[in-house]
Amino acid sequence: MDEAVQALQAHKDHWVAVPVRERIAILEQLLSNFVAIAPRWVEASLKAKGLAADEPAASEEWGAGVLPVINNLRQLRQSLLDIERYGHPRIPGPVLTMPNGQVAARVFPQSVYDRLFFMGLTAEIWMEPGVSISELPRTQALIYQDRQHSGKVALVLGAGNVASIGPMDILYKLFVEDQVVLFKANPVNAYLGPLLSEAFQPLIDRGFLRLAYGGAEEGAYLCQHPGIEEIHITGSDKTYEAIVFGPGPEGARRKAAHQPLINKRITGELGNVSPLIIVPGPWTARDLAYQAAHIVSSLTNNAGFNCNATRVLIQHAGWEQRPELLNAIRRVLQTVPPRLAYYPGASERQRAFVAEHPEAELYGQGSDGRLPWTLITGLDPEREGDICYTTEAFCGLFAETALAAESIAEYIDRAVAFANERLWGTLNATLIVHPESLKIPAIAHAVERAVANLRYGTIGVNYWAGIGFALAATTWGAFPGHDSYDIQSGIGVVHNTLMFSRAQKSVLRGPFRSTPTPLWFVTEGRKALKTFPKLIEFLAAPSPTKLPAIMLAATVG
């Protein structure tokens, strides 16, 4: 570890001096390398997670493991091409002033292929209050505007759940923040280390990246190493606090006394009790079935080991179709095979929730290391300190509550306040609203008010906000405002391939029912399993001749 830090210290200023044209060449080589290792990467991940290569859930390792990294590399390459020509990345869509005065830039779709593969999906990045349209380009790609700054050595502490997290964090530190990286693999998925070494070889060979391994002891050593100048972590708030203040009672004392062990800049993405707000409307049986699959997919993806998984479903207590939606969710859960609880501590966390809520419903047999899907309905919204509101389950478990209100607009306002004030974390939130409901001005205004007022780093309207993680063009991280003494979902952002320095939140908007059904839905696994490898091959080298096979796989399977 000392040798790795020493090598990075010796090369940190060399990285800052690498010209844009040379960085573009590096990204092109990385793109080729990651496409080359993709099959072995997926194979290793499936083995570790107890999945067979031909079962539907195996598609997740292509769609959430490989695909986001490929998107990230392609978009960074385009941003650097723009910087070379225009001085800053070009914004692909309109830049608007929203009703509350904030500036929002449309960052997705970026190409005709994005429009084809993500039909109807758009994404905006809302800037911090006070940023004007005219000054927006000056908030982008700051490191490329000032090439006189000194280099830094960053420690990136990898996450163990999703294979794409570590590589994308590495890319952000290098290409957006201009820092060389020591990446410490998480013990849960350290098996990916040799493959990452192979793919990142152009950066490793030149002394801009090093990989390290180990557990908490090695992590603590590196965090306190004098040669490490910044730290980024994806993990839990408990891990973050152990780094900053130390573990156990002594760490708690230090936190209370405002006496941190480390005063370096530490950014992190640390999880969430993610809300999903249902707006009442005239839902048909097909609507209920579609949205039930949508909601269940947002839980069951990666066996529930996602920081962006839906944890609390919020409904209107007076909506006549509330029981119908819950029953539709139950029917979908009954069809999804239980998954191996590969992430440490999952069984204990699930038992803690069920102990507090013995009325919990279990779906699927929990055996051979697999956990049943767990649904807890009818939570009391007034109950203070409920584990479902204060603690991220980080397993295949979610809950439901209902709020009383005289009107739908009032309900939406109450749901926003409930999410902001009662649920732990600020990472991502989703809101689902029928297009007929949006024709009612009071509801439409309440929905836009909700988007503006939800204090979350990513918000999805009719599209699971967690997909914002995979787009790469959007920011991914907590809503601004946390500090080490109330860290919740963390500090700072990653991804953000258009390199905005003053972003507040990202907003995804999709159709109420997408056609065709998105491939990440739990009901579409077999189609996704055939489509994602073809899509990755296409993105590496786009050609219209490859499109028919992709579209056939996506629609027929």
pLDDT at 441: 98
Residues 6+ apart with CB under 8 A from 164: 64, 65, 66, 67, 68, 69, 72, 470
> What Rg do the C-alpha atoms of the chain give, in angstroms?
22
Axis crossing angle, helix 67-86 with helix 525-540, rounded to the nearest 10: 30
39 closest CA partner among 72, 68, 66: 66
Burial category of 455 from C-beta neighbours within 10 Å (exposed 0-12, middle 13-18, buried 19 and up) = middle
CA 412, 293, 474, 265 dihedral sign is positive
CB atoms within 10 A of CB 550: 20
Distance CA 436, CA 450 (A): 18
pLDDT at 131: 97
Structure-token pair, residue 2? 């000392």
pLDDT at 365: 87
Domains of the chain from N-terminus onward: 2-89+145-269 (3.40.605.10), 275-509 (3.40.309.10), 522-555 (no CATH)
Q: What pLDDT, in 10s, does the model give residues 463-472?
A: 999 999 999 9
Calculate the alpha carbon distances from 78 to 88, 94, 498, 499 in Å: 11, 18, 9, 12
pLDDT at 540: 86
Distance CA 185, CA 470 (A): 20
pLDDT at 324: 98
Q: What pLDDT, in 10s, does the model give residues 442-452?
A: 999 999 999 99
Query: SS3 for 480?
Result: coil
pLDDT at 519: 97
**Sheet with 122-127, edge to edge strand ranges:** 95-97, 103-108, 122-127, 503-509, 458-461, 428-432, 274-278, 310-316, 397-403, 373-379, 361-363
The one-letter amino acid at 67: L
Distance CA 497, CA 471 (A): 10
The one-letter amino acid at 487: I
pLDDT at 52: 97
Please provide the distance, in angstroms rounded to a whole number, between the alpha carbons at the two ends of the chain.
Answer: 47
Angle at 493 between CA 456 and CA 202, to 5 degrees: 150
Ranges of the chain with pLDDT below 70:
none
23 closest CA partner among 153, 175, 148: 175
**Sheet with 265-269, edge to edge strand ranges:** 209-212, 180-184, 153-157, 230-234, 265-269, 490-491
pTM (global) more than 0.95: yes
